Structure 1
Amino acid sequence: MFKGPTTIRDHSFEANLFARRAFIAFIFVLALVAILFINIYQLQVTSHDNYQTRSNDNRIKLVPVAPNRGIIYDRKGVILAENKPVYNLEAISENIKNLDNSLKELTKLLNISEQQQTNFLNDIKHNRRFKSQILKSRLSEKEVALFSVNQHKFPGFKIEARLARYYPYGDTLTHALGYVAKIGKKELLKLNSENKTKNYGASRDIGKLGIEKFYEDTLHGTVGSQKIEVNNRGRVLRTLNFTPPIPGQDLVLTLDIGLQQAAQEVLKGMRGAITVLDAKDGGVLAMYSNPSYDPNLFVHGINSKNYKKLLNPDKPLINRATQGRYAPASTVKPLFALLGLNEGAITETSKIYDPGFFQIPNVKHKWRDWKPWGHGTKADGYKVDVYKAIEQSCDTYFYDIAYRLGITKISDFMAKFGFGEKSGIDIFEETTAILPSVEWKKQRFKEGWYAGDTISVGVGQGYWSATQIQIANAINILANKGVHNPPHLVSVTKQGSTVNLINNDEKEPIILKNLHYWDIVLNAMHNTVKKTSGTAHEAFKGVNYDPAGKTGTAQVVKIAQGEKYDEKKLKEKHRDNAMYVGFAPFNDPEIIIAITVENTGGGSSVGAPMARKVMDYYFANKTKELAGTP
């Protein structure tokens, strides 16, 4: 039977096919080997440094070390702000296995409040997970012991000992010193914009107000670091390298804590401020604003209950010495007299008729004097000269000067004494207040300036407002006969180097047409205290130093024409402010004082007696120092 054709194998073809396939396979294997060797070379040679660093990062960490904040002293070396050790319960969120359960158990163990838990969770949310955050600060010794015994139950949590700011004098210095508190979003953005974030890598706090904020760069210091080796659980095995931080510089202030406490005692129970300047250089010897508050509340995070207490109508958060806007009232009358003399509107011997009011020609309205029958006597024809006008605070006299001079000359002259601008004091919490002018009113009210507007300005009322530090600075310039000594709180660093007072611009002295004009005005201020008819005479009876000054009573609300001021019929907040400015000793001024007391009325009955108490302390203390007695 026929079986079909027989297939004959082509051994030569099959051999060639196998050879080609084997070659391709060999090339493929060779390529894979080449790739493997290239990768090995890349890992072991080319990228060795990179992967070595990444490997080290798994076991070596660079930890920033916070510098100690500089200490703040008063002029005699008394500590006003220091650093005290505190124990905080902290946690790194990425190391916590069960956050909710941990918080629940810790609350039972250490009585963690809901507010503390909320703050902790917010901090974790808005910060990097590897950064330690505080759950509870200022642990007691008992709480530290309780946690230490149970620490193994709370992975990721630990007790950290840190130095925290402490203000031993509490509310006595708050508005001058300010305080530090936790760095917030606003500060973080500012630090980042100024390329300072790295320097705050280990810092929790930053200056928020006062000296603490103004001199933040000086007080903070420079961050240090330590290179540590850790195991796979994050436990520190050893320190490989340590670069110590550079502590912040200590500051010596011009403040005298004793005088500051005297000012606080005098203002007890009242709203107002007291500023005392060194007449020789403008150093602030005392600056107290009442009511005040304890800055230590803010250092560790103030709770909502305590913060709400500060949001009351008395406004304790406001620094009344630099932020309070007050009508300067009669405290600026000596400056008006100086301007009048310099412009020839008055002379040392010229007099004006004082019937107890002033009228603009052909205008019915009367601007009344505080003394309804005027300050003149029958013997002198009911006329008043510059000396009596200042001694007895004659409103009519200064209404007349202001009307004849006009607002432009007034505004230009008062600007030379620092009104309408910041004083130069080295804290940021300051307002310029208002020095009125034609341009100011046009911009503010879209209307022109009227002659009647000028009359009230002549007695420090109307549109004019000033801060107490501006008034004190102006009186300092006056007492020094035109020489500017801008107010400042910092003297030098404790290390002896000077501090750059960035707010203080040097100003040319005020030059008058006749130097005798200074003496006329200063002598009149001296008479205000020394002469029995002077408005401050009663308050300074029997003092063993030689003061000069000027009382002031500032209207808070207008009294209608024909009506009399009756404080019993007015709400307390509508009653007059009591004011006083002065200096001593008269022939060689050492100190300048400015007093402002809200809604008590009577610069002579309230302001001057308070000024005397503060000045009594200063000179009594000086006598003790000279005698070498404590």
Structure 2
Amino acid sequence: MLKRLKERTNDEKIRNQMNKRINFIFGVIIFAFVAIVLRLGYLQIAQGSHYHQMIRESENVTVNESVPRGRILDRNGRVIVDNASKKAITYTRGKKTDQEEILDTAKKLAKLIDMNTEKITERDKKDFWITLYPDKAQKRMKKELELYKNGDISQEDYDQQLRDKIGEKDLDSLSDKDLKVLAIYREMMQGSTLSPRTIKNDDVTDKEFATVSQQLSDLPGVNTTMDWDRKYPYGDSLRGILGSVSTPEEGLPKELTNYYLSKGYSRNDRVGKGYLEFQYESILRGKKKEMRYTTDKSGGIIDSEVINEGSRGDDLILTIDMELQKKAEEYLEKHINSLRSQGAVNMDSALLVIQDPNNGDILAMAGRQIDTDGTLTDFDIGTFTTQYAVGSSVKGATLLAGYQNNVIKPGEQMVDEPLTFQGGLTKRSYFNKSGSRYIDDTEALMHSSNVFMFKTALKIAGIEYYQGMPLPDDITEAGKKLRKGLNQVGLGVKTGIDLPNEVTGQIEPLNDNPGNYLDLAIGQYDTYTPLQLSQYVSTIANDGDRVQSHIAKEIRKATNDDSIGPVKHKITGKVLNHVNNTPDQVAQIQKGFDKAFNKPEGTGYKSFKNTVVRSAGKTGTAEVFQNGEPRVNSTYVGYAPADDPKLAFSIVYTNQPVPEPWLPGGDLGRDIINYYFGKKDS
């Protein structure tokens, strides 16, 4: 009995101890819970407004950073324009970063990197001197400060008068170290808020890059990154047509600022400035890297995060064949020098266009401007931005206009003879200055008969020629009919090339000037571009389709390496119109072009008689004046093979000497045909 009582007493003691422990634990939990509730209440009620204010003063800002542009390649995958990566040091200005903070960072950075000071202006030096010595500056402006406070002078006037009081002696006091700091400081100050500004990206050494990277924590806003430049594996070849890209310092070019801002660009974005880089900016620009910056209440950057890595631009594939382009440039320069040695010392430009006549693909475009001493300057853009009187090369279009208006028919014969008009005006063909002979339309092209074209133009005006006849008073409607025929093959209208600044040519009114109307029929009145000539001869070569000229072929998706990605979009030349002629009429022009190059009497026979494949085309000579002296523009248009054209070309030489002798400018076309179809240089 006593033993059981003792055991019960021990059990109760243990149970009591356990209850005390549990009660203690529960007490601690309740106390902690009460403390948490009280703390939350304090934070929400007493400190809630404070933390709400902190949240409002901390801001997430997304900023776009530049990425490399897409490449430009030729039709065979050869890279024409690429990106070369290079080290760069950038600065991102906080929302409330003041000048003093920026200057302090510039001083620190100046100890770590070299900086070119050539861009510093006198105005920069004066402003920097004021920043370095504000007390000295203020002492010089006591009177002006009083006027400013009283509202008698503006802030702008005050600042200008202060600069005027800073002399050469003050500026000479700036040391080389000061100038280096200034060079960095001015770049930092030009940056937009929370937008990275390139401080240095040329010749950044490995040591500079590493040193700055190691000390970024002590350089607020400074960062080390990789930048890029455009590089050109083919050197200056096609450089004018490729265009250029603005620098990081330049950002949006002044002349294009409003245009790009309207499209959502930032002022410091690098963009295409001309021609292909400008035309295909939306393709080449890529998707910019997006950074999210978190700023504190003072505007300082306290954190950053990459939210989108971005990607380089898509690749642009051109219709250009760079091997043919290089050969075309080589041949062009060779023949310029040859013609100059034969007397063409006043020739001031030479231009060449090569294309596929069936689809509008431009295979090569080359141009050179020629100085009086023979110095050559690239002028590829001149093939579509300049226009010239081109002479007899257009006579195929004149005959097509005659067929269209039912005033002549294929195979028609006319008498080639000197034409005399009332008032003593005489017009004649060069090949037949005094005789009289029957020729048909194909022979008119072979001999380059002016008279056949004059009589055709008179027929379009509803007039049959007779000796001593007066010229018509009003040729307005006849001029419209003739020009309509010329337009249908691409003369006097834009080709549709996918490049900016294409010109139409000089198309003057025709109403009461019948002499000019007759000259229009032989290419002596309106002016055309070399590209228009190429489209014209291509229209004849492909049986009558005027196909839009284009230099871009495909858009390819960007890849992460140097491979060419899948096709995103094909660019083809659409048919702009078909000539209002029958197949037989177009074939008749082709026969005449064949005779001009392959018959001994043909004007192009000497140059084109032995091409590796049979070729066809037309030559032209336009009378012009240079500084009051008579000169000629020599032109050549053609295609090959004659029976199944795969290549068409146009050549324009400006301001050559008046014949005779006839200079062999057509040899350039011969060399192009022979190279393209596989024969070695002849």
Unaligned runs of 5+ in 1: 1-36, 293-308, 439-447, 558-569, 624-630
| 593, 599, 615: which one aligns with 1:525 | 593
| 299, 310, 313: which one aligns with 1:245 | 310
Q: Deviations over 1:242-267 (max 9, x none)?
A: 31213321111110001111111122
Q: How many residues align?
A: 529
Give the whole-Å Cα distance in 2 for the aligned partners of 1:204 and 1:538. 55
Give the whole-Å Cα distance in 2 for the aligned partners of 1:121 and 1:460. 61
Instruction: Tell me if 1:412 matches 2:473.
Output: no
Instruction: Tell me if 1:595 matches 2:651.
Output: yes
> What is the CA distance between 1:51 and its match in structure 2?
4.2
Letter in 2 for 1:329: G
Q: Conserved in 1, the CA contact under 8 Å of 2:106 and 2:184?
A: no
Q: Conserved in 1, the CA contact under 8 Å of 2:253 and 2:273?
A: no
Q: Conserved in 2, the CA contact under 8 Å of 1:65 and 1:244?
A: no
Letter in 2 for 1:527: K
Alignment match, 2:518: 455
| 656, 673, 679: which one aligns with 1:615 | 673
| 511, 534, 554: which one aligns with 2:602 | 534
Alignment match, 2:87: 87
1:587–1:468 distance in 2 versus 1, CA, 3 Å: same
Q: Conserved in 1, the CA contact under 8 Å of 2:398 and 2:485?
A: no
Q: Conserved in 2, the CA contact under 8 Å of 1:254 and 1:285?
A: yes
Give the whole-Å Cα distance in 2 for the aligned partners of 1:384 and 1:285. 37
| 354, 371, 390: which one aligns with 1:276 | 354
Instruction: Tell me if 1:225 matches 2:290.
Output: yes
Letter in 1 for 2:632: D
Q: Conserved in 2, the CA contact under 8 Å of 1:96 and 1:157?
A: no
Give the whole-Å Cα distance in 1 for the aligned partners of 2:350 and 2:311. 40
Give the whole-Å Cα distance in 1 for the aligned partners of 2:220 and 2:273. 34
| 136, 139, 154: which one aligns with 2:203 | 139
Instruction: Tell me if 1:392 matches 2:447.
Output: yes
Give the whole-Å Cα distance in 2 for the aligned partners of 1:72 and 1:490. 10
Max Rg structure: 2
Q: Conserved in 2, the CA contact under 8 Å of 1:331 and 1:460?
A: yes
Alignment match, 1:22: none
Letter in 1 for 2:258: L
Alignment match, 2:621: 553
1:261–1:73 distance in 2 versus 1, CA, 3 Å: same
Q: Deviations over 1:137-190 (max 9, x none)?
A: 421537846985998998766654202222222321123322212422443322
Q: Conserved in 2, the CA contact under 8 Å of 1:120 and 1:133?
A: no
| 200, 205, 228: which one aligns with 1:163 | 228
Alignment match, 1:299: none
Give the whole-Å Cα distance in 2 for the aligned partners of 1:49 and 1:421. 66
Q: Conserved in 1, the CA contact under 8 Å of 2:316 and 2:555?
A: yes
| 415, 422, 425: which one aligns with 1:365 | 425
Q: Secondary structure at the match of 2:637?
A: strand
Q: Deviations over 1:272-329 (max 9, x none)?
A: 221111122111111122249xxxxxxxxxxxxxxxx9xx998857721111111131
- Counterparts of 1:571-586 in structure 2, within 5 Å, are 575-586=631-642
> What is the CA distance between 1:418 and its match in structure 2?
2.7
Letter in 2 for 1:410: L
> What is the CA distance between 1:574 and its match in structure 2?
5.8
Q: Conserved in 1, the CA contact under 8 Å of 2:431 and 2:447?
A: no
- Counterparts of 1:380-529 in structure 2, within 5 Å, are 381-405=436-460, 406-438=478-510, 448-462=511-525, 464-495=526-557, 496-497=566-567, 499=569, 506-512=575-581, 514-529=582-597
Alignment match, 2:468: none
Q: Conserved in 1, the CA contact under 8 Å of 2:635 and 2:651?
A: yes
1:87–1:231 distance in 2 versus 1, CA, 3 Å: farther
> What is the CA distance between 1:467 and its match in structure 2?
1.1
> What is the CA distance between 1:453 and its match in structure 2?
1.6
Alignment match, 2:385: 323
> What is the CA distance between 1:510 and its match in structure 2?
2.0
Q: Conserved in 2, the CA contact under 8 Å of 1:411 and 1:436?
A: no
Give the whole-Å Cα distance in 1 for the aligned partners of 2:193 and 2:369. 41
Q: Secondary structure at the match of 1:64?
A: strand
1:347–1:92 distance in 2 versus 1, CA, 3 Å: same
Q: Secondary structure at the match of 1:555?
A: strand
Alignment match, 1:338: 400
Structure 1 length-normalised TM: 0.73
Alignment match, 1:210: 275
RMSD: 4.1
| 246, 249, 261: which one aligns with 1:192 | 261
Instruction: Tell me if 1:112 matches 2:180.
Output: no
Q: Secondary structure at the match of 2:650?
A: strand
Give the whole-Å Cα distance in 2 for the aligned partners of 1:176 and 1:500. 20
Q: Conserved in 2, the CA contact under 8 Å of 1:551 and 1:607?
A: no
Structure 2 length-normalised TM: 0.68
Alignment match, 1:44: 48
> What is the CA distance between 1:621 and its match in structure 2?
7.8
1:242–1:573 distance in 2 versus 1, CA, 3 Å: farther
Letter in 2 for 1:277: Q
Q: Deviations over 1:18-64 (max 9, x none)?
A: xxxxxxxxxxxxxxxxxxx9x9869826x966741522x3xx65442
Letter in 1 for 2:612: N
> What is the CA distance between 1:354 and its match in structure 2?
2.9
1:499–1:313 distance in 2 versus 1, CA, 3 Å: farther
Q: Deviations over 1:92-150 (max 9, x none)?
A: 5655216997899899x444323699798887676525544345542153784698599
Tell me whether 340-349 or 584-593 shows the greater mean CA deviation.
340-349
Q: Secondary structure at the match of 1:258?
A: helix
Give the whole-Å Cα distance in 2 for the aligned partners of 1:267 and 1:572. 27
Letter in 2 for 1:541: K
Instruction: Tell me if 1:66 matches 2:66.
Output: yes
Alignment match, 2:16: none
Letter in 2 for 1:319: I
1:432–1:121 distance in 2 versus 1, CA, 3 Å: farther
Instruction: Tell me if 1:288 matches 2:366.
Output: yes
Percent identity between matched residues is 22
1:122–1:191 distance in 2 versus 1, CA, 3 Å: farther
Q: Conserved in 2, the CA contact under 8 Å of 1:70 and 1:250?
A: yes
Alignment match, 1:7: none
1:573–1:144 distance in 2 versus 1, CA, 3 Å: farther
Give the whole-Å Cα distance in 1 for the aligned partners of 2:61 and 2:276. 35
Letter in 2 for 1:114: K
Letter in 1 for 2:440: D
Instruction: Tell me if 1:96 matches 2:168.
Output: no
Give the whole-Å Cα distance in 1 for the aligned partners of 2:327 and 2:309. 42
Letter in 2 for 1:396: V
Letter in 2 for 1:454: Y
Give the whole-Å Cα distance in 1 for the aligned partners of 2:73 and 2:237. 14
Q: Conserved in 1, the CA contact under 8 Å of 2:400 and 2:485?
A: no
Give the whole-Å Cα distance in 2 for the aligned partners of 1:404 and 1:103. 81
Q: Conserved in 1, the CA contact under 8 Å of 2:238 and 2:380?
A: no
1:232–1:572 distance in 2 versus 1, CA, 3 Å: farther
1:506–1:53 distance in 2 versus 1, CA, 3 Å: farther
Give the whole-Å Cα distance in 2 for the aligned partners of 1:347 and 1:228. 76
> What is the CA distance between 1:225 and its match in structure 2?
1.4
1:387–1:318 distance in 2 versus 1, CA, 3 Å: closer
Q: Secondary structure at the match of 1:164?
A: strand
Give the whole-Å Cα distance in 2 for the aligned partners of 1:468 and 1:585. 21
